[in-house]
Amino acid sequence: MSASGRTVSSRALIVRPADDAAIDAAAELLRHGALVAFPTETVYGLGADATDAAALGRIFAAKGRPADHPLIVHLAAAEELDRWSENPSPAARRLAEAFWPGPLTIVVPRRDTVSPAATGGKPTVGLRVPDHPVALALLERTGRPLAAPSANRFGRVSPTTATDVTAEFAGVSGGPGLVLDGGPCRVGVESTIVEVLGGDPVLLRPGGIPAEFIEDVLGRALQSASGPARASGMLASHYAPSAAVELVEPGDPAALAAAVAAALATGRRVAVLGLPSAGPARRTELDPAAVVLGPVATTEEYARVLYRRLREADRAGVEHVVALLPNPDGLGRAVRDRLRKAAAPRP
């Protein structure tokens, strides 16, 4: 909910606290083909009726996203798997049972009930049941599956608050008709995407459910995706703030201090991200001219605040972010993935 609890209008974007009346209004807009931004446990989504090709076209236009990048289709309950997927594999069923509602997207063969506009013309569809009361209430009231990419312009940092969504779309024509404000997102990075078509399961994007948990349920290892990018988040540069991003591996405070010193020596405004709240890499080792972007106590906290801190850095006029990578287990794998893409050379 917005701090004041009131409806806020920001340059033609209407933001409402996600109460029953606002959810009813949002469902009505969606049934008429408009776009609605809504909170999920991962990030805010830019939703449209997944059975309405014209509404789906509006998502691609508003985001500036290439039409061949498929969208995730959100469902109200795990029981809907068979309505939108043709013969899901036993592995797909097991994953849906174990992790829905939750931050796991399962790529399965699509049924004709899903508009090809949602799947970028692919024979498969990415499905997930979000674990957020507002998203679930909206899905139920709309009575349709909702295609929803993250509610940001293509290639940019995903939004984790309603204010982030308005910052992305204020002044952009064809953006959401309404932004439902459900407060900050609990997970903070996007869902894990696993392709389960019957052969070896493939991890297409690390995310809110650690890969180890999925491997435990399936009783086998996930293959990593190779070849041309199959998910848009797999492109080299993505999730990028305006500031340049430089990465430092954990466990080497001297390397961190040296990276900060070298960046400051270029005369730019420098910030440090992912500093642990305690331990050898703590602030006292660093040049105090560098801005510390809120230290993190755990990997879960790092995931939750990652995008928010990158946005803060941009707002504060930071030109160079030195990011300390987390260890690559649990949510650390998703955080490392997003930071690598934020640091990749920009087109």
Backbone angle region of 272, left / alpha / beta, with phi > 0 → left and psi within -120 to 50 → alpha: beta
What the block records as the tokens of 158 is 């995903």
C-beta of 150 vs 160, nearer to Mg ion: 150
Given the structure tokens 């509610």, which residue do they identify? Answer: 151
Distance between CA atoms of residues 211 and 331, nearest Å:
9
- Please count the residues of this chain forming the interface with Mg ion, following the rule CB under 5 A: 1
Residue ranges that bind ligand TXA, judged by CB under 6 A: 40, 42-43, 45, 69-72, 103, 105, 107, 119, 122, 124-126, 130, 148-150, 190-191, 193, 204, 230-233
Q: Give the nearer residue to Mg ion in terms of CB position, either 150 or 192.
A: 150
Q: Encoding tokens for residue 304? A: 């939750």
Choice between 107 and 257, CB closer to ligand TXA: 107
Q: How far is the CB of 233 from Mg ion (least distance, A)?
A: 6
From candidates 124, 150, 192, 299, binder to Mg ion by CB under 5 A? 150
Query: What are the DSSP E strand ranges found in 196-302?
Result: 202-205, 223-224, 244-248, 270-273, 291-293
Report the residue closest to Mg ion, judged by CB: 150
Closer Cβ to Mg ion, 16 or 132, answer by number: 132
Q: Which helix (H) or strand (E) holds 179?
A: strand 178-181
CA distance 126 to 196: 10
124 binds, among Mg ion, ligand TXA, none (CB under 5 to 8 A by kind): ligand TXA
Cα distances from 347 to residues 150, 238, 240, in angstroms, run 21, 10, 11
User: How near is the Cβ of 311 to ligand TXA at its closest, in Å?
Assistant: 16
Report the nearest approach of ligand TXA to the CB of residue 4 (Å).
26
- Which CB atom, from 147 or from 263, has the smaller least distance to ligand TXA? 147
